[in-house]
């Protein structure tokens, strides 16, 4: 198999795994362990991790000059989301 196709396959399965994992945050157990603010913050962090995977591997911006621009955007949006989620 083409290495880049293999890479896309791995990233896809990772994204699916993180998505299913993130649904665990909606369970009673997660809500008994964490506050609503923490759940919102953790959900946002997992979403931004997935978004970065999409940007690097699916959009193919890894190693390009545009990667820095998108990384800055994602970092600012993630930090702002954290601040608002924990407010």
Partner 1 sequence: MPVTNIDKNAEKSVTETSFLSARKMPSEPWMWFFILGDMSIFAIFFGAYLWKLGANRDVFIGEAASLVLSLGLFNTLVLLTSSYTVARAVHAYRQGDDALTRTMLGWSLLAAAIFIGTKVVEYSMELADGHGLTTSAFFMYYFVLTGLHLLHVFIGSIFLFNWRLSLSGKTLECDLHSHSRAEGIAGYWHMVDLLWLLIFAFIYIGSSS
Tokens of 63: 């190693």
CA distance 27 to 58: 30
Instruction: Indicate whether 56 belongs to the interface with partner 1 (CB under 8 A).
Output: no
32 touches partner 1 (CB under 8 A): no
- What's the token pair of residue 45? 């962090």
CB of 33 to partner 1, least distance (A): 14
**Token pair for residue 60?**
């193919």
Give Dmax over CA atoms of the chain in angstroms. 48
- Please report, as ranges, the residues that interact with partner 1 according to CB under 8 A: 2, 4-5, 8, 12, 15-16, 19-20, 22-23, 25-26, 31, 36-37, 39-40, 43-44, 46-48, 50-51, 54-55, 57-66, 69-70, 73, 77, 80-81, 84-85, 87
């Amino acid at each position: 198999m083409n290495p880049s196709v293999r890479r896309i396959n791995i990233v896809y399965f990772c994204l699916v795994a993180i998505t299913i994992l993130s649904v665990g945050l909606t369970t009673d157990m997660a809500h008994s362990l964490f506050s609503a603010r923490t759940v919102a913050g953790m959900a946002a962090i997992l979403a931004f991790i997935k978004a970065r995977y999409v940007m690097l591997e699916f959009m193919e911006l890894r190693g390009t000059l545009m990667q820095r621009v998108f990384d800055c955007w994602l970092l600012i949006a993630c930090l702002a989301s954290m601040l608002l989620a924990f407010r």
